[in-house]
């Protein structure tokens, strides 16, 4: 196509979403295209915004733990951990080492389930549904472990202000080891598949390439940044919970393309398995909780946690009462959108779903905010009320 035709051609905008742009969550993208080539990208979020930050200001410090754990179903424990670490900093409470180790155990199990979930979704976007079904089947192993430990598959609710709720006994520890051994074998197989399968490499190699310089300029974080060789991992840079006792080896790759993002996440799985085993081998003895005051002293605290998708940032401000003055949540997906909207330019439209999936976006992460109840409305619904509401809604 000559220069003239391009400059005279009208802009075409291809809307993708809000339904199912890449993952099964809502987000809206507008790609400006010239033929098949993307020349611009814009993003619109908020379809599942729930007003959680505002909600936090209206509830007590204890209630907020339960609210914040529900920011995201995939990395619920990361949110709860970032929050409790911040509140404990404000209250100057020292948490027993056993509790910190169990927190870390949950964090790594969560990373395993999240990365396996992503592997399946990304494979599905690449049209490789067999890999999707394999990885989701295997992911059930870690889901069972989490359910066995906490009674819950998704919101484990393992954290308390000042400690953890669940202990790990010998029987559970043996079961975790058995599950991890199985997953390690499967993970080796996945690493082999994503680096050797010709058709799949056609969808990932040299696609969505981000150089180290670009990653730095776009302030990328998490596996997305590490796949471009950027050494950035909160677990290594600013160890929290029990990461000082169980140090993590930084996993990076140099490709910067989608293939590298697969490699980084899969190699992180091996690192997680190693840490899980190390924690089970050296679980410190002692109490599970420390005493927390009901009113949190005045002050501000920042806490950072490496969630499966990257750095999760919490800013807490207390005014000395039993409710927080401000809770700011900056989730990893929000940082990585910038990398997609910048890198999309120059790629073909067909690569967009893969590129979107490549950063492992989590829409619930971005969208947090409140249904406002009117005065006098009952908060608890009876089964009958709920049923009626459902019937009315779908009429």
Partner 1 sequence: MDINESLQRAEQILSTWAPVALHPSPERVDVSLPDKWLKAAVLALRDAKWGYLSAITGMDHPGTVEPVTEEQRWQRLENEGENATGGESREGTLEVLYHFCEGAAVLTLRVSVRYSFPVLPSICGIIPAATLYERELSEMFGIRLVGTPNVDKLLLPDDWPDGVFPLRKSFHGLTEVEKSGPEVKK
Q: Which residues make up the interface to partner 1 (CB under 8 A)?
A: 42-46, 49, 51, 53-54, 57, 89, 216-221, 232, 237-238, 299-302, 304, 311, 313, 315, 317, 326, 328, 330, 334-335, 337-339, 342, 366-367, 369, 372, 374
Which lies closer to partner 1 via its Cβ, residue 139 or residue 309? 309
Residue among 122 and 218 whose Cβ is closer to partner 1: 218
Q: Smallest gap, in angstroms, from Cβ of residue 187 to partner 1?
A: 29
In angstroms, what is the minimal distance from the CB of 377 to partner 1? Answer: 11
Calpha distance 376→380 (Å, rounded): 12
Alpha carbons within 13 angstroms on the beta-carbon side of residue 333 total 20
For residue 160, give the 3-state DSSP assignment: strand
**Minimum CB separation from partner 1 for residue 238, in Å?**
3
For residue 18, is the peptide bond before it cis, meaning its omega torsion is within 30 degrees of 0?
yes
DSSP states along 120-141: HHHHHHTT-HHHHHHHHHHHHH
Residue 370, H or E segment: none
| DSSP-assigned beta bridge partners for residue 13 | 32
Query: For partner 1, which is the closer residue by CB, 220 or 356?
Result: 220
Q: Which is nearer to partner 1, 110 or 367 (CB)?
A: 367
Looking at the Cβ atoms of 269 and 340, the one nearer to partner 1 is 340
Q: What's the closest the beta carbon of residue 221 comes to partner 1, in angstroms?
A: 8
Query: Are the C-beta atoms of residues 163 and 99 closer than 8 Å to each other?
Result: yes
Of the pair 54, 137, the CB lying nearest partner 1 is at 54
DSSP 47-72: TT---HHHHHHHS-HHHHHHHHHTS-
Taking the complex as a whole, how short is the minimal distance between the CB of residue 317 and partner 1, in angstroms?
A: 7
CB of 375 to partner 1, least distance (A): 10
Residue 208 CB contacts under 8 Å (≥ 6 apart), including other chains: 257, 258, 343, 347, 351, 354, 355, 358
């Amino acid at each position: 196509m000559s220069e003239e035709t391009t400059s005279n051609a009208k802009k075409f905008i291809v809307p993708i979403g809000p339904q199912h742009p890449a993952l099964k969550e809502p987000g809206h993208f507008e790609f400006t295209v010239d033929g098949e080539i993307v020349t611009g990208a814009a993003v619109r979020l908020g379809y599942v915004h729930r007003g959680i930050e505002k909600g936090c200001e209206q509830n007590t410090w204890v209630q907020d733990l339960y609210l914040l754990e529900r920011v995201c179903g995939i990395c619920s424990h990361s949110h709860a951990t970032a929050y409790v670490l911040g509140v404990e900093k404000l209250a100057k409470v020292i948490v027993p080492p056993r509790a910190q180790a169990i927190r870390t155990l949950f964090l790594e199990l969560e990373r395993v389930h999240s990365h396996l979930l992503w592997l399946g979704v990304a494979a599905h976007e690449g049209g490789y549904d067999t890999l999707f079904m394999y990885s989701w089947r295997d992911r059930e192993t870690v889901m069972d472990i989490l359910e066995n430990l906490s009674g819950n598959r998704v919101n484990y609710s393992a954290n308390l202000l000042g400690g953890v709720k669940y202990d790990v006994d010998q029987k559970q520890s043996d079961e975790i080891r058995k599950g991890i051994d199985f997953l390690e074998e499967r993970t080796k197989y996945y690493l082999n598949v994503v680096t050797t399968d010709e058709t799949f490499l056609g969808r990932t190699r040299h696609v969505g390439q981000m150089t180290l310089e670009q990653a730095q300029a776009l302030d990328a974080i998490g596996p997305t940044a590490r796949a471009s060789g950027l050494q950035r991992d909160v677990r290594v840079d600013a160890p929290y919970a029990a990461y000082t006792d169980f140090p993590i080896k930084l996993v990076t790759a140099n490709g910067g393309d989608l293939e590298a993002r697969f490699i980084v996440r899969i190699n992180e799985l091996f690192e997680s398995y190693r840490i899980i085993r190390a924690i089970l081998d050296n679980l410190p003895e002692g109490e599970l909780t420390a005493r927390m005051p009901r009113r949190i002293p005045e002050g501000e605290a920042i806490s950072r946690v490496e969630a499966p998708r990257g750095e999760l940032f919490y800013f807490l401000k207390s005014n000395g009462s039993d409710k927080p003055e401000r809770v700011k949540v900056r989730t990893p997906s929000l940082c990585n959108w910038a990398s997609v909207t910048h890198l999309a330019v120059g790629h073909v439209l067909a690569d967009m779903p893969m590129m979107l999936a490549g950063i492992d976006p989590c829409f619930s992460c971005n969208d947090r905010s409140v249904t406002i109840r009117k005065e006098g409305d009952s908060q608890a619904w009876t089964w009958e009320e709920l049923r009626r509401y459902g019937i009315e809604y779908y009429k």
